[in-house]
A = this chain, B = another copy of it.
Amino acid sequence: MMPTSAEMKAVMTKYASLVSAGDAEAVVALYADNATIEDPVGSPAQSGREAIAKFYQGACASGVKINVLSGPYGSFGNSAAMVAEVLVEVPGLGPSRIELVEVMEFDAQGKISAMRAYWGQEDMKPV
């Protein structure tokens, strides 16, 4: 069984809220054990629960916020996508805004098995 588009979209919206609330543990619980994160796409992937926990503990400690701007959009498979703004303190740059596309794949249990964030250097701007 694949998760429905509605189920995938609900997880993605919840993901943004939980990251913004700084609840790294709850964010990590949305992921499958063997999940991968590529953020930004083109950087080395984070793989597995320990690496993913470290990733979100760092993000949440820095006070990152994620606001969904459009979508999430579904598919006829196990993937969905959304546009979001990420508000984050960037060392050397200060308070910054990244506008990006996040694509997520899901397993049969509705857990995130892969997350890829599409943004380039030019999509990050000081605010």
Interface residues of A (CB under 8 A from B): 5-6, 40-43, 69-71, 73-83, 99-101, 103, 118-123
Contact = CB atoms under 8 A, between A and B. Distances in A.
| Count of this chain's copies in the oligomeric assembly | 2
A84 to B, nearest CB: 10
B75 A5 contact: no
Contacts of A80: 118, 120
Nearest to A40: B76
Given A83-B83, A103-B101, A103-B103, A120 B42 contact: no
27 contacts: A5-B121, A6-B122, A40-B76, A41-B75, A41-B77, A42-B77, A42-B79, A43-B76, A69-B70, A70-B99, A71-B83, A71-B101, A73-B83, A73-B99, A73-B101, A73-B120, A74-B119, A74-B122, A74-B123, A75-B119, A81-B81, A81-B118, A82-B101, A83-B83, A83-B101, A101-B103, A103-B103
